[in-house]
Amino acid sequence: MNIGVVVFPGSNCDHDCEYIFKDVLGQSVKLIWHKDTLPAGLDAVVLPGGFSYGDYLRTGAIARFSPVMGAVKTFAREGGLVIGICNGFQILLEAGLLPGVMLRNTSLNFICKDVYVKVENAATRFTNRCESGQVLKIPIAHADGNYYTDPVTLGGIKANAQVIFRYCTAEGKVTPEANPNGSLDNIAGIMNADGNVLGMMPHPERSAETVLGNEDGRLIFLSILSAFGKSEQQSRLVSV
């Protein structure tokens, strides 16, 4: 696969996403500077986590004006696969590629820890290697992951099976105690109506290798590969 990872000023999970696709899964990855446009021939675009523009105005609010975002919108409109993780999800919301907004965590603190999410829809290009209802352990790391939208939109995305991940207990129960940030309906990740744009707060790239003690997140990346009829290549070591 040809993957493009967008680098906004302040992105800080760009190298991690590159590492997973390139070094762990053996795919071809380009880092794309936000002032450039998308190169031709990409299969998927990743908007990585981080603090684009320092999160100084509101998470993702400035990044959506980055020159590359015009190309990302076109790419998405034409059916290209786009995944936004954490700050990438926030940017997708601000850019209108996904519905809703992010509020500050109810604790008002940044939270970094493992959480459990339930796969609500396994029939997507991002989750086809998961079972429906499967519980994944994936870490979160954010201060603004409290998803919110109006009741009509919420009804719509639920009815349309666009809610992909919900925070749950280790046993898969979706409870208020399992919700780390106050997110509406325990929502951890959603997809657009066309099924080609995913935003999720948890970081699957941080839980996709045995050396890090957890491979649950790898299923997301393997699902994307499967959607393109690919399987992972022999992983290889590269110099730092």
Beta bridge partners of 50: 11
What are the DSSP calls for 28-60, one per residue?
Answer: EEEEEETTS-PPTT-SEEEE--B-GGGG-SSTT
Cβ of residue 62: shortest distance to other proteins, in angstroms? 10
Within 46-75, the residues that bind other proteins by CB under 8 A are 49-51, 53-56
Residue 139 engages other proteins in binding (rule: CB under 8 A): yes
Q: Out of 13, 18, 34, 86, pick the active-site residue.
A: 86
Contact (Cβ atoms closer than 8 angstroms) between residue 132 and residue 229 = no
Residue 9 engages other proteins in binding (rule: CB under 8 A): yes
Residue 237 engages other proteins in binding (rule: CB under 8 A): yes
Residue 18 engages other proteins in binding (rule: CB under 8 A): no
Of residues 61, 63, 46, 57, the one with CA closest to residue 10: 63
Residue 112 engages other proteins in binding (rule: CB under 8 A): yes
Distance of alpha carbon 27 from its chain centroid, rounded? Answer: 18
Tokens 């352990």 belong to 137
Tokens 């609010």 belong to 61
Contact (Cβ atoms closer than 8 angstroms) between residue 10 and residue 54 = yes
Residue closer to other proteins, measured from CB, 100 or 217: 217
Residue 206 engages other proteins in binding (rule: CB under 8 A): yes
Residue 203 engages other proteins in binding (rule: CB under 8 A): yes
C-alpha–C-alpha distance, residues 68 and 79, integer Å: 17
15 is catalytic: no
205 is catalytic: yes
**Residues tagged active-site:** 86, 203, 205
Give me the residues that bind other proteins (CB under 8 A), please. Answer: 9-10, 12-13, 15-16, 19-20, 23, 33, 35, 49-51, 53-56, 109-114, 139, 141, 143, 203, 205-206, 209, 211-213, 237-240
